[in-house]
């Protein structure tokens, strides 16, 4: 029998109160920009590259409310220190939400239980959620699939949903127990799912794939063996900051070749669609002050004499949360440090992806060779004088350390590569 979850609490708070807009109202926007090449280029056929940059900007205090379902692993393996750290971090999250936000708690072991409906995070709702969190106990096996399905039902059956964003935060320290449907059977494409792997025993591949198949969710790892909860708190804080600062939704960028030939478009792991002359990237939500960069690789044609040509048309569309939100548009046509950084970031991400694939089939020497080649390439760019290059080199060196022994890769390396690569590619 299907359980009815359409009992979400109403939201009465509006920020700010005198804005004149109800939280469910949206303003649609579509902006097109014609780009003309003003830089010098050779007369012969030439390869060229540029960066298109979009940044979300919100003004004032208004934002849309968010509905979060926290899906928490309470199986046997969570007993003791891990569960206590989870409680601490969840209570931290609750205190950071506001009266326009709602939170529901779903726990899973061999079964999934919705502990509460979507509850308004005001002075009455926060203590209720904290009491439920503090009473959590660990038992039985691990059924991630049922936890996800329950969370999706909670969001699908909401009575109040207009003008609100959604998110699922899935926390687990183990692997799916045998005898249950695999999590890959759950369609999470309509909602961002942020997955958090605790310790070295969690199934990094499953949690990464859940986040990847969702609507722009992310996968993070957190240390639960150390003396405090800082690692999980930081992961939760980063996730919360993004969820609560959405300024536009359904952002799409389209680049169309004119007097040029698009060779490649790099936009990280965001979905792309192509036709003969255009490439469209679907970015989904854009957060306040967050930047989306797209690197376009072009081939300029041979020309018989000096001329001025339109080489690329760029357009983008989005759905604005309120009339106070907009997008700043910037185009880099030359090759400054920023452009070089973006290309190197993509190359490094690809090297880590390839090394992980080689390690997964036990080709550890090939994996290490690929990373060492990337490390040498980064050294040539003087990482000590460039913060991004220095950070990328750290990622490569840390992955190399985790490839020293197959056991270390199995326990820590795969999860590090998946989490590291997701972080680098997401902002690319």
CB 73 within 8 A of CB 212: no
CA 326 remoteness from chain centre: 21
Which residues are paired to 167 by β-bridges? Answer: 68
Over 90: is that where the pLDDT of 232 sits?
no
Give residue 126's pLDDT band: very low, low, confident or very high (50, 70, 90): very high
Cβ contacts of 413-417, under 8 Å, gap ≥ 24: 413/359, 414/204, 414/205, 414/356, 414/359, 414/360, 415/197, 415/200, 415/202, 415/204, 415/221, 416/221, 417/352, 417/355, 417/356, 417/359
Half-sphere exposure of 144 (CA within 13 A, CB side): 28
Domains and CATH numbers, the chain: 27-61+247-334 (2.60.40.740), 66-243 (3.40.50.410), 338-426 (no CATH)
pLDDT of the residue at 273: 93
Give residue 333's pLDDT band: very low, low, confident or very high (50, 70, 90): very low
pLDDT one-digit tens code per residue, 177-225? 888 888 989 999 999 999 999 887 888 889 999 998 998 888 988 877 7
Q: Do the bridges between strand 246-257 and strand 119-120 make them parallel or antiparallel, or are there none, so unpaired? A: unpaired
User: How many other CB atoms sit within 10 Å of the CB of residue 328?
Assistant: 11
Query: pTM value?
Result: 0.71
CA 322 remoteness from chain centre: 23
pLDDT of the residue at 74: 94
CB 328 within 8 A of CB 54: yes
User: How many other CB atoms sit within 10 Å of the CB of residue 153?
Assistant: 18
pLDDT of the residue at 132: 96
Q: Please give the C-alpha separations between residue 113 and each of 73, 86, 155, 328, in angstroms, as whole numbers.
A: 11, 17, 15, 44
CB 299 within 8 A of CB 47: yes
Q: Which tokens in the block code for residue 419? A: 């989490």
Q: Spell out a b/e string for 250-260, using b for 16 or more CB atoms within 10 Å of the CB, else e.
A: ebbbebebeeb
Mapped onto helix, strand or coil, the DSSP state of residue 166 is strand
Q: Which tokens in the block code for residue 54? A: 């979009």
pLDDT one-digit tens code per residue, 234-288? 888 878 877 777 777 788 899 999 888 999 998 877 889 998 899 999 988 777 6
Give residue 151's pLDDT band: very low, low, confident or very high (50, 70, 90): very high
| Residue whose pair of structure tokens reads 């020293």 in the numeric block | 404
Mapped onto helix, strand or coil, the DSSP state of residue 184 is helix
pLDDT one-digit tens code per residue, 25-63? 333 344 444 444 445 667 788 888 888 877 766 555 566
Question: Could you give the maximum distance between any two Cα atoms of the chain, in Å?
Answer: 77
Mapped onto helix, strand or coil, the DSSP state of residue 63 is coil
**In this structure, is the dihedral angle defined by the CA atoms of residues 343, 344, 349 and 352, taken in order, positive or negative?**
positive
- The residue among 390 and 29 whose pLDDT is bigger is 390
Over 80: is that where the pLDDT of 137 sits?
yes
The C-alpha atoms of residue 191 and residue 246 are separated, in whole angstroms, by: 14
In the chain, pLDDT over 70 holds for what percent of residues? Answer: 81
Q: Which tokens in the block code for residue 56? A: 């979300």
């Amino acid at each position: 029998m299907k359980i009815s979850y359409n009992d979400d609490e109403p939201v009465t708070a509006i920020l700010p109160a005198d804005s004149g807009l109800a939280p469910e109202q949206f303003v649609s926007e579509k902006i097109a920009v014609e780009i003309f090449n003003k830089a010098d280029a050779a007369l012969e056929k030439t390869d060229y590259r540029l960066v298109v940059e979009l940044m979300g900007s919100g003004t004032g205090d208004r934002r849309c409310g968010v509905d979060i379902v926290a899906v928490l692993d309470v199986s046997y393996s969570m007993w003791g220190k891990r569960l206590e750290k989870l409680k601490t971090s969840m209570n931290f999250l609750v205190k950071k939400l506001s009266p326009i936000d709602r939170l529901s708690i779903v726990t899973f072991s061999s079964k999934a239980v919705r502990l509460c409906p979507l509850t308004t995070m005001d002075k009455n709702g926060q203590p209720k959620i904290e009491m439920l969190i503090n009473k959590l106990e660990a038992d039985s096996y691990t059924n991630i699939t049922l936890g996800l399905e329950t969370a999706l039902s909670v969001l699908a059956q909401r009575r109040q949903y207009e003008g609100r964003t959604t998110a699922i935060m899935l926390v687990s320290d183990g692997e799916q127990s045998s005898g249950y449907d695999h999590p890959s059977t759950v369609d999470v494409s309509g909602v961002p799912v942020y997955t958090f792997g605790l310790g070295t025993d969690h199934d990094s591949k499953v949690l990464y794939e859940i986040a990847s198949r969702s609507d722009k969710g992310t996968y993070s790892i957190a240390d639960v063996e150390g003396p405090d909860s800082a690692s999980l708190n930081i992961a939760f804080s980063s996730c919360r900051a993004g969820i609560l600062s959405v300024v536009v939704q359904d952002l799409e960028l389209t680049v169309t070749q004119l007097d040029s030939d698009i060779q490649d478009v790099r936009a990280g792991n965001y979905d792309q669609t192509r036709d003969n002359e255009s490439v469209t990237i679907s970015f989904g939500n854009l957060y306040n002050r967050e930047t989306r960069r797209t690197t376009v690789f072009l081939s300029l044609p041979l020309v018989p004499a000096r001329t001025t040509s339109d080489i690329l048309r760029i357009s983008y569309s989005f759905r604005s949360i309120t009339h106070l939100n907009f997008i700043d548009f910037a185009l880099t046509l030359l090759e400054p440090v920023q452009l070089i950084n973006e290309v190197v970031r993509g190359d490094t991400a690809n090297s880590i992806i390839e090394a992980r694939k080689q390690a997964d089939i036990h080709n550890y020497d090939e994996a290490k060779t690929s990373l060492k080649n990337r490390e040498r390439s980064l050294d040539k760019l003087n990482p000590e004088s460039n913060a991004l290059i220095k950070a990328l080199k750290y990622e490569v060196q840390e992955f190399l350390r985790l490839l020293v022994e197959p056991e270390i890769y199995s326990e820590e390396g795969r999860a590090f590569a998946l989490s590291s690569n997701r972080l680098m590619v997401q902002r690319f």
